[in-house]
Chain A
């Protein structure tokens, strides 16, 4: 029956489960999902090697569909049960000039049979769809790695365009690598010759040919990709079938050609995960789901006021799909109107959100200040990117921390919450909503481009595990005047949280006016009284300072003298670097902050326990500045602002130097 497993088309999932949920791992014998030939089966059989982990990078022109290819490979890998982490990397231009270095788009995927933390430093396999892709990526590829090149593109002009005087495939410059020259374009066109497509149309499927080949190489399950293609091109069935055919042709090419003598298995990472139902998820998707879940848990309608901006727009796109959850999405005329509408909706009793990136935050600053003054719940989601100004729209950075902390006129404290991984964006969003609703305050949720677009497995939470976020709107008078009259005071605070009542329009008897002018404590009436202003400024600060956040956990198994402290998306690389150091016998303690404002209550005490504190950040030392100012600790910065996440190896070296310094 070997012929039945010779092409993806004939792969079938084991017994379909209701709802499309895969069977437990124990039942998911990889041999049923991906083709595998036992070497004993016959002369056509190829060697299968087992690997613990692999890093693959797909690279091509912006128009080559590398992101889609990467997404599909990720999806296959996720459903196979590996742990994984991804790094999409693409230019800000939608279609930079074809075949040029700035036009190269890549997608890196790291997958393993154990838990992993980063998309990997250097690829084990590079798929280069053209000379530009090879040139732009070769420096990252270690010697001995495999490179699959589309030879059809290695002709004079495309090579000349990126400065190859001679073909790197022939001049010996790639001798240190294992190069697989594959005429991807020709093979794709050949495979699709019966589809009646133009050459140009057929060529477009070459990314699916490459995906098929890689799927064969790494024994990926293929059924979902075929279903995906049929669904994606449902309106153009001939294109769907052409893509499926190219995909299968790529798979078969691997199976039959002698150039690919070995295929690889990376077993599912079963022991890496606690039991549960898993899916692959990107940061922006997890964040969107977190917002929907928070609204549901708060029993409030969700309202998003937003203006499109990279890399935050996907949240607007995602939320606009879920109107059946009562989600209102408003694409405003500008960033200011986006947050303005959200604040209006918050006044009306919605869980209100605005989503943006750094330049948008700058425009929203005045309204954030108003929200501080009005003391209404509001989430400001900042998917950070390289700055200043327009900066690097599609690259990552953590340089908005101080903007989130201080970027407003007057004393305008705002809580700041930062997710640490793509999947963690869900929990961070729910936590940010908790703070906003409990304390009636705007809250910053600081994600970044790396988390937004990267993906990893996520244990789908049970809805009953989610926190209860229900709030009590004000319903009647809350204050008795000296003469016994019962009145409503919009700025009379809860003694525990210092939150003011949320009295939404439509509630009889609670008509009141709020605004950005300083208010008298209690009544909320306009007040220019100096002592009252002093009191109100301190009270607003005290409210934020008093927000309950969990203590900081420190991972320090060996009683280290050096602590590495991070926040946000550096969690993966820092943890990977820490593991390396410990494996080498160098003790180091690690802690990672989710709450940047207020800091966990034990942070000062934690910092003082260590001789040395190192703070790696993708900025020039913003957290380090805050730590030094608040705790008078001589925190050392390790910084990188190249638009990319830290590499674990590099970080490990830097930490080692810092320890020994």
Chain B
């Protein structure tokens, strides 16, 4: 078992997907992408083999944030945007837990943006699943911080004015040690990304493109439609050349003049120049450049997979180590000694 999960007790018996389904009726809109993600997570959990009482799902507010109610683990449906902060308190005080945060584009990037970036820079042992549907669903369809510019919504009848966040770029900029992107409808890919995230020591941010069939239907159609997807989706695999397109005819190279990345038609002459994906390199530069390849409007050239997975000290471990060091240096705290201090006098009645 990896560093990330070594302090979490293991399940005694073999688990099945059923063990992770709570008795609560799932109440997302029919056809919502959240169902697929829930099924993938419930299906993946037995594979981790962790005692399910040591797994906690914490969410904020929004459609996605109902998620914990449907998991038969410990869970907290908290308040808007604050899940990373609450989860930080739990994870940093309980290293024996596997703590997951479920959030959305509004919850994580708008009202909770501050907590997200600080959780990422601290590298708390949290797995953050960011369901990005590029819209506010629960409040019935206002544009979100990931909506494309000019989006017509109830609150923007003449089109939205804000430039969107790219969650992967944002996370890399916030010093994230693990950043990945996947899609709700691709269960196999989603599961593989979850597997890698779970094993990562520290904060893992997984952006999951999720379809809101009520307020933003088809937002990711370019990545899902078989014909279009060939050209639109770039699958990142560590150690493999970054190639995509029909018959892998396209590839990503580094532009020698600018250092930036660009997409080319692969030829025998340039084949050797195709960038080999290295998710483990400490430098975030290439991962960031990869996150900028996609066209925010058409979603063409959207990389999915693990952009970045590097090891650096984990906040909860560091915090715990300091407690141990303090005991080594000063001895276990003695209350009488503390309260008495060094400067006392005695009164005899």
Q: Which of A303, A327, A460, A506 is in CB contact (< 8 Å) with B53?
A: A506
Q: A324-B333, A348-B97 are in contact. Are A342 and B89 (CB under 8 A)?
A: yes
B349: CB under 8 A from chain A?
yes
Chain A residues positioned under 8 Å from B331 (CB to CB): 324
Q: How does the 8 Å CB contact mask read for A251-276 relative to B, with 1 for contact and 0 for none?
A: 00000000000000000001001111
B52: CB under 8 A from chain A?
yes
Q: Which of A24, A334, A459, A511 is in CB contact (< 8 Å) with B73?
A: A511
Q: Which of B55, B69, B115, B346 is in CB contact (< 8 Å) with A276?
A: B346
Q: Which of B91, B323, B348 is in CB contact (< 8 Å) with A323?
A: B323
Chain B residues positioned under 8 Å from A366 (CB to CB): 79, 82
Q: Which of B53, B79, B93, B118 is in CB contact (< 8 Å) with A333?
A: B118
The total of Cβ contacts below 8 Å across the A-B interface reads: 229
B191: CB under 8 A from chain A?
no
At the interface with chain A, which of B264-272, B278-286, B337-345? Answer: B337-345
B72: CB under 8 A from chain A?
yes
Question: Among B74, B76, B93, which residue has the most Cβ atoms of chain A within 10 A?
Answer: B93
A278: CB under 8 A from chain B?
yes
Question: Contact between A296 and B335 (Cβ–Cβ < 8 Å)?
Answer: yes
CB-nearest residue of chain B relative to A457?
A: B345
A402: CB under 8 A from chain B?
no
Chain A residues positioned under 8 Å from B4 (CB to CB): none
B54: CB under 8 A from chain A?
yes
A639: CB under 8 A from chain B?
no
Q: How does the 8 Å CB contact mask read for A512-534 relative to B, with 1 for contact and 0 for none?
A: 11111100000001100000000
Question: Nearest Cβ distance between residue A375 and chain B, in whole angstroms?
Answer: 12
Question: Contact between B344 and A21 (Cβ–Cβ < 8 Å)?
Answer: yes
Question: Nearest Cβ distance between residue B88 and chain A, in whole angstroms?
Answer: 5
A577: CB under 8 A from chain B?
no
Question: Contact between B89 and A348 (Cβ–Cβ < 8 Å)?
Answer: yes
Q: Which of B79, B319, B325, B333 is in CB contact (< 8 Å) with A367?
A: B79
**A interface residues, tally (CB under 8 Å):** 81
B96: CB under 8 A from chain A?
yes
Q: How does the 8 Å CB contact mask read for A496-514 relative to B, with 1 for contact and 0 for none?
A: 0000000001111111111
Chain B residues positioned under 8 Å from A296 (CB to CB): 335
| Dominant secondary structure of chain A at its interface with chain B | mixed
Q: Which of B76, B88, B94, B333 is in CB contact (< 8 Å) with A506?
A: B94
Chain B residues positioned under 8 Å from A330 (CB to CB): 88-89, 92, 319
Chain A residues positioned under 8 Å from B114 (CB to CB): 333-334, 337
Question: Contact between B93 and A345 (Cβ–Cβ < 8 Å)?
Answer: yes
Q: A81-B347, A296-B335, A340-B115 are in contact. Are A511 and B93 (CB under 8 A)?
A: no
Q: How does the 8 Å CB contact mask read for B50-83 relative to A, with 1 for contact and 0 for none?
A: 0111111010000000001101111111110010
Question: Contact between B89 and A506 (Cβ–Cβ < 8 Å)?
Answer: no
Question: Contact between A337 and B345 (Cβ–Cβ < 8 Å)?
Answer: no
Question: Contact between A517 and B345 (Cβ–Cβ < 8 Å)?
Answer: no
CB-nearest residue of chain B relative to A20?
A: B342
Q: How far is the CA of A57 from the CA of B96 in the complex (A)?
A: 54
A326: CB under 8 A from chain B?
yes
Q: Which of B86, B322, B327, B349 is in CB contact (< 8 Å) with A343?
A: B86
Question: Nearest Cβ distance between residue B170 and chain A, in whole angstroms?
Answer: 15
B85: CB under 8 A from chain A?
yes
Question: Contact between B323 and A347 (Cβ–Cβ < 8 Å)?
Answer: no
Chain A residues positioned under 8 Å from B346 (CB to CB): 21-25, 275-278
Chain A residues positioned under 8 Å from B139 (CB to CB): none
